[in-house]
Chain A
């Protein structure tokens, strides 16, 4: 990629914004590697999955479905349902992704909730360089964590004891607050959260988040 110094700085800005999260992501990578190892996945399959799927919750879902004796079809369905939210998320950043179809395909792989949220500039605008910088940082942390967990997991601490599971909602809250610029955004946020909470006990994992994206249809109404 040919880019000037200011463009480089923006990649770095994305990486810097993702750095605190990278620690939590690495810790969850470690727990994924560890659990996969315990389920008899060996060390290679978890690392390959982290490198090719790069979507934590869906990897845990596939692991637990197979671990509970579920079929491959059930594991794949659960994982892909969890990742279905990346379709609307991908559409939201698409206008800001330029370059060849191949480079757009590769850059799109760096989309995860956290990198997408970091790249959001409000009013539906996204900074692709922030997305790439943050995405690469988290990608490296996720793969490294998975490798560490699956190779020497037994010696490491439990991420829940360190409170790392609370780091994710805190991050999303910190990224949500600046997005609430008007009453429509506030209404969409409240409706999205309500849909997710109501559906969590009754729908398979992943469905509540996808259904919550329907709250953006409030934007159909003219103001």
Chain B
């Protein structure tokens, strides 16, 4: 039980420090232009990586499963300009239905 609480405390403190690093150190100050160009590409790079890992990753492997069909359905919903709520629900429903059928 002690090891659980030590883990909870250290992970909590470490995560708080990591999250606050940028905002506390440089909050409110504009970054140099060169740096802004780099940071502006962070959103597309990280979001695409999150899509890939969340849709294909499982522990330490890449698997193709029902999530991909849910994601494809979400892609169609996005292309048809559906609202965010609809996109998320479509992905979950298609994935659940395919799992149910399998």
Contacts and interface: CB of A to CB of B under 8 A. Distances in A.
A38 interface: no
A180 interface: yes
A75 interface: yes
Contacts of A83: 14-15, 18-19
Contacts of A4: none
A164 B99 CA distance: 12
Contacts of B45: 188-189, 191-192, 212-216
A209 B49 CA distance: 6
Contacts, number: 316
Interface residues of A, number: 101
Contact of A53 (B5, B15, B39, B91): B15
Contact of B88 (A24, A90, A94): A24
A205 interface: yes
B20 A108 contact: yes
A197 B64 CA distance: 12
Interface residues of B, number: 78
B79 to A, nearest CB: 9
Nearest to A160: B99
Interface string A86-110: 1111111111011101001101110
Contacts of A216: 38-42, 45-46
B84 A86 contact: no
Contacts of B8: 45, 48-49, 52-53, 62
A138 interface: no
Interface in A140-196: 160-177, 179-180, 184-186, 188-193, 195-196
Contact of A212 (B6, B11, B13, B48): B48
11 contacts: A42-B1, A48-B8, A52-B9, A93-B23, A97-B28, A167-B88, A170-B90, A172-B50, A193-B48, A212-B46, A219-B37
Interface of A: 17, 19-21, 24, 40-42, 45, 48-49, 52-55, 58-59, 62, 66, 72, 75-76, 79-80, 83-95, 97-99, 101, 104-105, 107-109, 111, 113, 117, 120, 122-124, 160-177, 179-180, 184-186, 188-193, 195-197, 200-202, 204-205, 208-209, 212-220
Q: Which 10 residue pairs spanning A and B have beta carbons closest together?
A: A124-B40, A90-B22, A163-B95, A170-B91, A52-B12, A192-B45, A166-B70, A212-B49, A163-B96, A170-B74
